[in-house]
């Protein structure tokens, strides 16, 4: 199956492509398909925004489309930035400004109260309108300063509770951020990786049900 990866974010595209191709799908980017869209994310939840994006890009591409809406939810901030993660500081996709604002908001929060989680809702939409939506989460905490170079968004600040190790996971005793993990270490525990695992597991049943209709 050839799938349209519905994102304009280069870091997210790289991650989606890596995960989808590993699962056996052919992936086309928006650039490869000649699609220039930026649908407004008006949903109140990650799942609603993922569905909005999947629908827009599925119509434009005519292909089965995978769209992700993800973000960071910080306990001490009442779940913020949440669905506003990409535009937390105002401008959409300004990672440095978003990270600065988050660090400022967390400045007085002590170490033991910096719990957070990354959340990813992934929606697969077929050209006939059928959808499959799954969600994955990765628990962790917010670090005191940016660290690492292998990531984007809040990856430089987010310290996951565990890291991937072979076919399993290990406690993140070294306190490495998402951006300090190798790709395989991150994919095994990441919110997006976990959502894509669910998508892969549920896809045969979803496709079979559609064929029987």
Among residues 69, 95, 155, 187, the one annotated as catalytic is: 69
Cα 3 to the chain's mean position, in Å? Answer: 17
pLDDT in tens, the chain (213 residues): 899 999 888 888 888 888 888 878 899 999 999 999 888 889 999 999 999 999 999 999 999 999 999 999 999 999 999 999 999 999 888 999 999 999 999 999 999 999 999 999 999 999 999 999 999 999 999 999 999 999 899 999 999 999 988 778 999 999 999 999 998 899 889 998 899 889 888 988 888 886 656
Domain at 2-212, CATH class: alpha beta
Shortest CA distance to 150 belongs to which of 103, 196, 101, 184? 184
Residue range 102-142, pLDDT digits in tens: 999 999 999 999 999 999 999 999 999 999 999 999 999 99
Distance CA 45, CA 49 (A): 6
Distance CA 93, CA 41 (A): 13
Q: Which residues contact 32 (CB under 8 A, 6 or more apart)?
A: none
- Record the pTM: 0.88
Q: Can 183 be counted among the known catalytic residues?
A: no
Distance CA 7, CA 142 (A): 25
**Hey, where are the domains in the chain?**
2-212
Distance CA 78, CA 84 (A): 13
Quickly count: other Cβ atoms within 10 Å of residue 212's Cβ.
6
């Amino acid at each position: 199956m050839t799938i349209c990866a519905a994102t304009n974010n280069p870091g997210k595209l790289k991650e989606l492509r890596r995960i989808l191709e590993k699962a056996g799908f052919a992936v086309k980017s928006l650039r490869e398909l000649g699609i220039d869209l930026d649908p407004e994310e008006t949903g109140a939840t990650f799942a609603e925004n993922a569905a909005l994006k999947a629908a827009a890009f599925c119509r434009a591409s005519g292909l089965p489309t995978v769209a992700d809406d993800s973000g960071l939810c910080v306990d001490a901030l009442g779940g913020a930035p949440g669905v506003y993660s990409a535009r937390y500081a105002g401008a959409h996709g300004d990672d440095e400004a978003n990270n600065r604002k988050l660090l400022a908001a967390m400045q007085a929060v002590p170490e033991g109260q910096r719990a957070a989680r990354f959340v990813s809702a992934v929606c697969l939409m077929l050209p006939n309108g059928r959808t499959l939506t799954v969600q994955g989460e990765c628990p962790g905490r917010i670090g005191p300063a940016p660290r690492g170079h292998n990531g984007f968004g809040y990856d430089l600040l987010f310290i996951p509770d565990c890291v991937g190790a072979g076919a399993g996971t290990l406690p993140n005793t070294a306190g490495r951020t998402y951006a300090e993990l190798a790709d395989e270490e991150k994919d095994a525990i990441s919110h997006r990786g976990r959502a894509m695992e669910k998508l892969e597991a549920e896809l045969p049943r979803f496709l079979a049900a559609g064929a029987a209709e």
